[in-house]
Amino acid sequence: QVQLVESGGGLVQAGGSLRLSCAASGRSGTIYAMGWFRQAPGKEREFVAGISWNGGNTYYGDAVKGRFTFSRDNAKNTVYLQMNSLKPEDTAVYYCAAYSPTLPFDHYSDHTFYDIWGQGTQVTVSS
């Protein structure tokens, strides 16, 4: 069973940057398409970004386009979310997730198509 572990969250001032990492461990030889989601208190889970299994395609939520960059290093079984120009409204718990390997990556923004989730990492942006 694959496990996902996020890291890199923290407290940053508005306008600053953070890089989140999500490392996959386990015996599976599957390379998953991956996604980042976030959830702020009292709000629904929100799609942040998605990346295809080989990194050839990336997708972003409207709220983060132009500020966040999703990348991956399959040799290290790790994906990264570079977050620049952070805003207070980016404050949330950020989760990485592995997309169902048996389905096309058409529903990258729908959290119900993701099978495996990390525990989340808190990102707090102060004004």
In Å, how far from its chain's centre is CA 109? Answer: 11
Q: Can you give the pLDDT at residue 11? A: 98
Model confidence over 73-101: pLDDT tens digits? 999 999 999 999 999 999 999 999 999 99
What tens digit of pLDDT does each residue of 97-112 get? 999 999 999 999 999 9
Instruction: Provide DSSP, 92-107.
Output: EEEEEEEEPTTS-GGG
Q: Is residue 15 predicted with pLDDT exceeding 90?
A: yes
Nearest one of 58, 56, 45 to 95, comparing CA atoms: 45
Query: Do you know the residue count of the chain?
Result: 127
pLDDT tens digits, 37-87: 999 999 999 999 999 999 999 999 999 999 999 999 999 999 999 999 999
